[in-house]
Amino acid sequence: MKQTILKACCIAMAAASLLACKKQGGEEIVGDITKLTDLEFANCDAIYYEDEDFGNYYLTCYNGTTDEEGYFQGDAEVLVLDIYASKSSGALFLPVGTYKVVRESRIAKGTCLEGFELTMEEYLKMYEDMGFEIDYSEFTKEELAGGSGQIVGSEVYFQTYEGKDSEGEDSYTYDDFLFTEESGTSVRISKSGTTYTITVNAVVDGKDFIFTYKGAIDVQDGREEEGGEGGEGGGDVPSDRSQYQVYDFAGYTQGELDYNGVYDGVTSWTIYLGDNNINLETLEGNGKLLILDFETSKAGKTDIPTGKYLYETGDYALVGYYEYNDYAFGTMYYDGDDLLLGATDGNVSVSKSGSNYSFGIELYDDDYGTAYKANISLPLKYVDYSTSSVAQMPMSSRRAIVGGKNAKAAKPARKPAAAPAPALRRSIRK
């Protein structure tokens, strides 16, 4: 599990005010769009983190100065890039290539996590999950419920010094411009000798912008700073999948095929399979429940395209398991309230004959040493969720969010939002 961490001694509310979020041209804008222009950055730092699946490079390019603890001082222009690539097997360096900005559920090697805003409570909980002790009594209900500029992921932002506040503390305002998958923003990294060139082609409010950095980059190793209890999974996990606990239940008596709609050219489908002891409307019960989550670039609305869906890759993608705010997302297998498998790898073949769908399933949970292998055939009830009031929520967890199954502490989140590097703590005050 990726557990990036700040070198912070205490957390308190910053005296920062942000303009309200608005959607323009597929880009979420927080701040004054008239301030944005092409930017060249003079400095760039990088920290390398790692989880079971990826190497994560957290880049901070900036114009400005920082204090000894990594806080920006005075006015600053900052570019934040949260890049995912292959894990490093030796000396740390930035992998060259082009990285497409994607939403959190589509993170894969060769991608960059889009920027998004959390409430203060969500933001603090992220650090609490990493092992920090948070005193929530220091915050009012309004502060906890507000966004307050708690942004994670990739963005460009401006810090403006506003002088001393009534308590004699430095006061700042911020204008943030978040990179989203909808914007089509891409990041290119090249290298010649010891010199890196980073080029970000971004679209904001229908206008093209270019953000660049050219120079050396010292990649720091953040793996030894990872917090929390350390490790992941349910104890000793066998290194050989042939030793995994295998589940092969295939006696499902009911199934549902949910069409979730098309988002950014990708069609989302979720399939729910349950035995007689599961209520598929609420996902409650003491029986067996299998949830398969798919994304495909192939067209179709009433029938999921047939083919072999591979784990988080290609035109036929099987969405892996992850959690957010204690709710389960993606592909998973339950027995009652016990989450026996959250997919970290695998594939599912989908075919149809008459009214019956057939599935050839091979799933693995490398965090907990379990596998699910079965061949299943049954008819599915079709439901169109594309026009529902929750259609914009991540598809695989719609039922959980609406009032279904809460993963609770069954297993830790595999892919929490990336924590800001020390220089990015502009919404936290010492």
The Cα-based distances of 33 to 20, 207, 403 in angstroms read 12, 10, 38
Look at the chain and count its residues. 430
Q: How far apart are CA 371 and CA 245, in angstroms?
A: 6
Residue pLDDT, tens place only, 16-67: 222 223 333 334 555 677 888 999 999 999 998 887 778 889 999 999 988 7
At residue 120, φ and ψ (nearest 5 deg) are -60, -40
Largest CA-CA distance found in the chain, in angstroms, rounded = 74
Given a cut of 70, whether residue 80 has pLDDT beyond it is yes
Given a cut of 80, whether residue 2 has pLDDT beyond it is no
Q: Domain residue spans in the chain?
A: 16-232+415-424, 241-402
Q: What is the structure's pLDDT at 229?
A: 32
Residue pLDDT, tens place only, 148-200: 567 788 999 898 888 888 888 888 888 888 888 888 899 999 988 889 999 99
Residue 336, burial from CB neighbour count under 10 angstroms (0-12, 13-18, 19+): middle
Residues near 169 by beta carbon (within 8 Å), at least 6 away in sequence: 15, 429
Q: How far apart are CA 101 and CA 180, in angstroms?
A: 6
